[in-house]
Amino acid sequence: MSVIIAAYNEESRIGTVLDAVTCSALISQIIVVNDGSKDKTADEATRPGVNVLTLEKNRGKGAALIEGINQTKDSDILLFLDADLVGFKSEHISILVEPLIKDKEVVMTVGKFTGGRKSTDLAQFLVPNISGQRAIRGDVIAKMPDLSADGYGAEVAITRYIKNNGLKFVEVPLKNVSQVMKEEKLGLVKGLASRIRMYYQMTRTFIRSHFRL
């Protein structure tokens, strides 16, 4: 199983996520896509067993995920994780992957924060199935349309593809997990602007998905 982490300016947070990933016996390949970061994200991600792929400029989450997918070695399962998770442990990887191992009909799991921070729990309650924490079968992701232009809408595109094709996916709880919000990273004004851009890209992708099949 391969894990792909798209990261942009996450030098102070990505190490914690990698601590959990490198402790998991389920993972055979770890890929961090440094999406044109201006800080030391690449340096913090560089450690034994981690393949760091650095893009010269910021291309957006969808493009970063595609670059990571292209580096996988015919993995049967791909695990996508955000680089800014709080409280994420190696046992959460098992929770994300277990349904795919036990049930061949399940092609994807989507992690849902619970019991972490009220702000992130509420965000996922209001806008479900957009979580960046998900496991998906490699043969399914190989058939999907290109995510490069979707930006923050990449997870929306993946979920819509699964639903539009009548494939089975399940939501799994990630207890005591949350993530650092954009307003905390960038400040209130820049954070809100980034959030608005994120939701715009998600909405755009949702609309596009109705015309892809």
pLDDT at residue 115 in the model:
80
So what's the pLDDT on residue 213?
A: 47
Give 145 or 166, the one with higher predicted confidence: 166
Q: Is the pLDDT confidence value at 28 over 60?
A: yes
Reported confidence tier of residue 190, pLDDT bands at 50, 70, 90 = confident
Q: What is the mean pLDDT of residues 55-77?
A: 91
pLDDT for the residue 121: 66
Task: Calculate helix-pair angle for 154-164, 188-209, nearest 10 degrees.
Answer: 30
Query: Any bridge partners for residue 86, and if so which?
Result: 178
More confident residue, 152 or 89: 89
pLDDT in tens, 71-107: 997 889 999 999 999 999 999 999 999 999 999 999 9
Q: What percent of the chain has pLDDT over 70?
A: 92
Confidence grade of residue 126 (pLDDT, cut at 50, 70, 90): low
The residue among 117 and 70 whose pLDDT is bigger is 70
pLDDT at 197 over 90: no
Q: Give residue 212's pLDDT.
A: 55
Bridge partners (DSSP) of residue 29 are 2
pLDDT band at 34 (very low <50, low <70, confident <90, very high): very high
pLDDT tens-digit readout, 129-140: 678 899 999 999
Arithmetic mean of pLDDT, 126-154: 82
The residue type of 176 is N
* Domain count for the chain: 1
The 50-55 sheet, strands edge to edge: 50-55, 29-35, 2-7, 77-82, 134-137, 106-114, 168-175
| Mean predicted lDDT score pLDDT of the chain | 88
List phi, psi (to 5°) of 207.
-65, -45
First to last CA, the chain: 28
Residue of 19, 160, 13 whose CA lies nearest to 93: 19
- Report the C-alpha gap between 79 and 163 in whole angstroms: 19
Q: Rounded to two decimals, what is the model's pTM?
A: 0.87
Domain that holds residue 54: 2-209
Coil, strand or helix at 170: strand
Apex 179 CA angle, 177 and 180, nearest 5? 150
CATH at residue 195: 3.90.550.10
